[in-house]
Structure 1
């Protein structure tokens, strides 16, 4: 089941309060799960709250509305502000706790020679968090909107805007992630792209000008095409589609990021998934998101695109998300691509 929430056209803090009140139990559960995860992944005495406080300063300086919305969610749900901030900086805090961390998710950008670009992503994460995400529509007073598939308390992840700008996200790991510096959280950067950028080129420029503290591959698109920005402290690297196709998994491929990549041959699934998708989709170029979803219905003993972990600590594909840029829209399948039927929402 895909759970969804549509905000009212409110200012940032009030929008956060509205979501926090409506989903107080869900936000609280998410904060508890991440507090447990930070403790498991970090050394004894690892202080996630201290890191959250440092990231809060960066967010407040960079995007005050984002911090206001986080504060609103916390107030609405009756939670400590730093607990919600820790969720919004969870990629960065997990990298500080354990820079090797979890390595999943596959994303595909298709930029056909004729027709608008589109993208598909599997979101793979801990199986016990399967009930911790939702589809969120955020309207603006001027009639514009953004939609994102994200976790309760987290301002954004995979998404699309009414301008036809889309964002996909896959985690990376770089040796620079373990440093003491802080930067703008990558999930909040994805949300910022959806709110501020009118094109993929603007999104690439925003990514390249934003200091980060953890590695992530953000794939951005608009009707004319797109690119991947491999973010890492000291980066980034930029990758463009080749013959209309760009496949991203969990290892660096740009010359800027590859030398510091912490994912090697000891973790074969990232290479298996990328090779499978690249080979399959080049042999039969996809004409629509459904073609990519079909190619993602891939299982392999060493880690396929479609993940089916069920025990605590195992990874599973929690959602399969398709994005179209013209008309702009977002389709969500609960679970992996092999589940069969995409739940489609009306496009505006």
Structure 2
């Protein structure tokens, strides 16, 4: 995965979308087509994908009209159909309507002790063939506010920080209430929190107003050491706070007991094993550099750690995924520390700062 960077200073969503679509038109078009192929391999027709994408886009337009306008402007500038870009932005919602959606395997560890700067790290695991390139985008949603985020071309946001001292990690979840009915895209919820929230309470408030059609955990952390995972699903929103010792871990299953009763993750998911691994290695991570923290995430297993995913080449392409990104948030300095690869490579390659 190649990481591209872009800085936009405009506060106008139409102009911002136009800038992205003009600069990265080939990538926007290419990723949209790759996702359509992926959805087809999972059993969805183009008509079904378009229907979910358009329902989700209309829900987005009602909930955050600026983000819908940005998506449309990006599509127009890239020379592709608006619904195709909307389908990438709503790819979690489209996947919720698949007969057998499968899922990525992401692991997040946040240490936010009282009186100290938060320390975070996450792996982002996905299908490498869907993400030949991705975007690190520094943007200005309003005068006086900066957002830095990592996302796929066509998606409004994913993992990021803002200049108010707030950051968001992202883990997909699966619930029996998920469906292809549409709903506000969860990637847009992450983006709006970054655009507007100064506090954890405000992030919760924003998330609570979104009617979603698919499930996700947004782990929000702030410079004052507030941290909680916002578990979103069509069945409701749960707020899972950090433990008293400041630790907050998340993989790909619900931690809230009520929502966990509707858990619907893939049977072959390693989410429980990865969560147990995070608990085992967390004591070694505090106080390290971002690269050192990433290495410590692997523990003594190194490259063989359960958090370092490798594609299973014995499975069909649409069932293969690996660790494409290791990323940490510096909410104090509004920065992302990142490596396009698994965490065990951090020692040799280091993490770049955006």
Which residue does the alignment assign to 2:334?
328
3-state secondary structure, aligned to 1:322: strand
Equivalent position of 1:296 in the other structure = 297
Distance between the aligned counterparts of 1:45 and 1:328, measured in 2?
39
Secondary structure at the counterpart of residue 308 of structure 2: coil
CA distance 1:300–1:336, shift in 2 (3 Å) = closer
Q: Which residue of 2 aligns with 1:318?
A: 324
Where does residue 191 of structure 2 map in the other structure? 191
Cα deviations across residues 49-106 of structure 1 (Å, max 9, x unaligned)?
1111111211111111001100110011001000001111000011111465213111
Alignment of 1:63 onto 2:69: no
The residue aligned with 1:248 is 250
**Partners of 1:16 and 1:206 in 2: CA distance:** 22
Deviation at 1:8, TM superposition (A): 3.4
Q: Partner of 1:175 in structure 2?
A: 176
Instruction: Give 3-state SS (helix, strand or coil) of 1:21's partner.
Output: helix
Asked if the contact 2:310–2:322 (Cα under 8 Å) also holds between the matched residues in 1, the reply is yes
Shift of 1:168: 0.5
Q: 1:135-175 deviations in whole A, cap 9, x for unaligned?
A: 11113563421011100111100000111110000011111
- Deviation by residue 1:300-336 (Cα, 9 ceiling, x = unmatched): 9998101122753311111111101112211111111
In the alignment, what sits opposite 1:344? Answer: 352
Superposition misfits of 4+ residues, deviation over 4 angstroms: 43-46, 298-303
**SS of equivalent to 1:52:** helix
Distance across 1 between alignment mates of 2:46 and 2:89 = 21
The whole-number CA distance in structure 2 between the counterparts of 1:13 and 1:161 is 21
Q: Provide closer, same or farther for how the CA distance between residues 113 and 290 of structure 1 changes in structure 2, counting only shifts above 3 A.
A: farther
Give matches, 1:1-348, under 5 Å.
1-43=2-44, 47-98=48-99, 100-139=101-140, 142-178=143-179, 181-224=181-224, 225-242=226-243, 243-263=245-265, 266-267=267-268, 269-281=270-282, 283-284=283-284, 286-288=286-288, 289-297=290-298, 304-309=306-311, 311=313, 312-313=317-318, 314-340=320-346, 341-345=349-353
State the shift of 1:209 in Å: 2.9
Range that drifts further, 122-131 or 167-176: 122-131
Return the alpha-carbon distance in structure 2 between the equivalents of residues 45 and 79 of structure 1.
Answer: 15
What's the RMSD between the two structures over aligned residues?
A: 2.2
Kindly state the Cα deviation for residue 40 of structure 1 after the two structures are TM-superposed: 1.3
Please say which of residues 68-77 and 118-127 is displaced more in the overlay: 118-127
Unmatched runs of 5 consecutive residues or more in structure 2? none
Displacement of 1:36:
0.8
Compared with structure 1, are the counterparts of its residues 114 and 301 closer, same or farther at alpha carbon in structure 2 (3 Å cutoff)?
closer
Would the aligned equivalents of 2:55 and 2:183 in 1 still touch at CA under 8 Å?
no
Unaligned runs of 5+ in 1: none
The whole-number CA distance in structure 1 between the counterparts of 2:309 and 2:323 is 5
What is the CA-CA distance between 1:127 and the residue it aligns to? 2.1
Contact 2:42 2:100 in 1 (8 A): no
- The 8 Å contact of residues 237 and 254 in structure 1, kept in 2 or not, is answered as yes
Rate the CA distance shift 1:262–1:73 in 2: closer, same or farther, 3 A.
Answer: same
| TM, length-normalised to structure 2 | 0.90
The normalised TM-score by structure 1 is 0.92
Mark the CA change 1:329 to 1:47 in structure 2 (over 3 Å): closer, same or farther. same
Of stretches 1-10 and 191-200 in structure 1, the one that deviates more from structure 2 is 1-10
Whole-Å separation in 2 of the counterparts to 1:254 and 1:215: 13
**Is the contact made by 2:50 and 2:84 (CA closer than 8 Å) also made in structure 1?**
yes
